């Protein structure tokens, strides 16, 4: 396993690099000397409904591969401005099938999140756990329901459609037009501001275009939505850390 701090401090080849937000693109955050950061009042400006967070004193650990769904979780962590450690697994060498990782996720899949004594795996479950832990879910269950709905849609219905090569075009032909209609009228899937639902949905739509060659030209609102999400600073920062092999 190669350990890399994406937020807090980065350790690489014996060197310590400061990645406190105050010096790398996120003003208003200071390091405590131990790899954790403290948020000041302006830290989460521009994040829509995502609120300024206070640290719990425990560094989250995100396990994943260079190109895996760990990037989805990393994006949300960056939106939340939560410090975390990314533990890069050498998937080609089978690190995800070794006993030390199977003790974290017995299924041998990534991503997995370790938060103290709590372990969560499956990207959608991790997203909802983080949204709940950091106060991003509405108090009213009726307002929470659409967030659950879209995260589960993205990670089940949409992913299953992509996985069926022989039926992919047919299935996407049913799913993408309603999404196009919704996003013609609003910037994000539940309204005017980004939520955890968008992190799930835009990520899978991005994978659809990049990894499966899905043509988004017939869906201009969807294409604009994915691009809007990809241009967010938190997305760029997460992709720069997770997608890079070193």
Does residue 202 contact residue 231 with C-beta atoms inside 8 Å?
Answer: no
CATH code of residue 168: 1.20.1050.10
* Highest mean pLDDT: which range of 23-32, 186-195, 237-246: 186-195
Does residue 148 contact residue 155 with C-beta atoms inside 8 Å?
Answer: no
Distance between CA atoms of residues 44 and 27, nearest Å: 9
37: pLDDT strictly greater than 70: no
The pTM for the full model equals: 0.78
Residue 24 inside a domain? The answer is no
φ and ψ at residue 12, rounded to 5 degrees = -145, 120
Q: How many domains does the chain have?
A: 1
Residue 207 inside a domain? The answer is yes
Residue 163 inside a domain? The answer is yes
Q: Is 194 exposed, middle or buried (0-12, 13-18, 19+ CB in 10 A)?
A: buried
φ and ψ at residue 129, rounded to 5 degrees = -60, -45
45: pLDDT strictly greater than 60: no
47: pLDDT strictly greater than 70: no
Residue 224 inside a domain? The answer is yes
Residue 222 inside a domain? The answer is yes
Residue 38 inside a domain? The answer is no
Residue 212 inside a domain? The answer is yes
What is the domain extent for residue 180?
A: 141-230
Residue 208 CA to its chain's centroid (Å): 16
pLDDT digits (tens, 9 = 90+) for 146-164: 999 999 999 999 999 999 9
Residue 203 inside a domain? The answer is yes
């Amino acid at each position: 396993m190669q350990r890399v701090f994406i937020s807090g401090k980065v350790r690489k080849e014996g060197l310590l690099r400061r990645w406190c937000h105050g010096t790398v693109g996120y003003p208003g955050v200071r390091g405590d000397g131990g790899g954790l950061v403290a948020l000041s009042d302006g830290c989460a400006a521009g994040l829509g409904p995502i609120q300024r967070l206070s640290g719990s004193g425990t560094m989250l650990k995100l396990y994943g591969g260079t190109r895996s769904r760990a990037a989805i979780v990393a994006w949300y962590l960056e939106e939340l401005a939560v410090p975390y450690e990314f533990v890069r697994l050498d998937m080609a060498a089978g690190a995800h099938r070794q006993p030390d990782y199977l003790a974290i996720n017995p299924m041998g899949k990534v991503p997995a999140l370790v938060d103290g004594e709590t372990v969560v795996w499956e990207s959608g479950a991790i997203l909802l756990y983080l949204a709940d832990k950091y106060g991003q879910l509405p108090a009213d269950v009726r307002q929470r329901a659409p967030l659950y709905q879209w995260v589960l849609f993205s990670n089940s219905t949409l992913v299953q459609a992509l996985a069926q090569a022989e039926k992919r075009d047919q299935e996407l032909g049913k799913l993408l037009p309603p999404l196009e209609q919704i996003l013609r009228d609003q910037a994000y899937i539940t309204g005017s501001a980004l939520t955890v639902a968008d992190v799930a949905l835009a990520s899978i739509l991005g994978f659809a275009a990049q990894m499966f060659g899905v043509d988004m030209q017939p869906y201009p609102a969807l294409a604009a939505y994915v691009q809007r999400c990809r241009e967010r600073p938190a997305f760029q920062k997460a992709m720069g850390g997770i997608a890079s092999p070193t």
